[in-house]
Amino acid sequence: MTQARPARNGFTLVELLALVAAISVLMGFLLPAVSGARRRGWVTRARHDLRQIGFALELYSDTYGLYPPARTFCATMMASIDDYNHLPTELIADGFLSVALEDVFNPGHTYKYIAPGYGWANGMATCLAIWVPRAFPRDNGPADDKAYFSQRTSPVPFATWSVGPAGAKSVFESDMLHYPVPPRHWYPDKRDGLIVHLMTEGGPRMSP
């Protein structure tokens, strides 16, 4: 009479190792997809927020005749890139925005804003410039950029932007003076670039 084998109550060590290996392979495929989907969702949210800010800026301009002043700081006087070119407080104070929208890629800090003309640098009133390629949106590099000091004459009277998925620190460090308008700084063509919404002579424009 053949003796029956006892029933197994679990996996063998080899089977467990094979299962762990299979799960690891699956996770290797799934994690990049999940991360990519999350990044795309944040990019969509940033674009939506920037359009909302652009609409508020248009209402401000319709009311006061100009876009609000920008506020900037010299690199040697600021704590970090996070303190550079925050949204105008006038938008909230005058009711054009209910809250200062935070950059989804830079929590705790607002989206950025620049406009030529009257503004503030290091807490002092001054005249600020915005740099625009002469053949915008064609971009031939910094030598092709021109500084404009008036909202009325600049082909780009204001620009708002998100620091983007990579934080844009390399952009800030390499070409701080000339960004954000030139397309060479824009995400996704530049992987560590900016998500930009700006006003042009032909109307609003968003980076790809």
The pLDDT of residue 18: 72
pLDDT tens per residue, range 38-91: 888 899 999 999 999 999 999 999 999 999 999 887 654 444 556 678 899 999
Greater model confidence, 35 or 148? 148
Distance CA 141, CA 167 (A): 21
pLDDT tens per residue, range 186-197: 998 888 889 999
pLDDT tens per residue, range 3-25: 555 555 666 776 677 777 777 77
CB neighbour class for 5 (10 Å; exposed up to 12, middle 13-18, buried from 19): exposed
Which range, of 60-64, 148-152, 153-157, 165-169, averages the lowest pLDDT?
Answer: 165-169
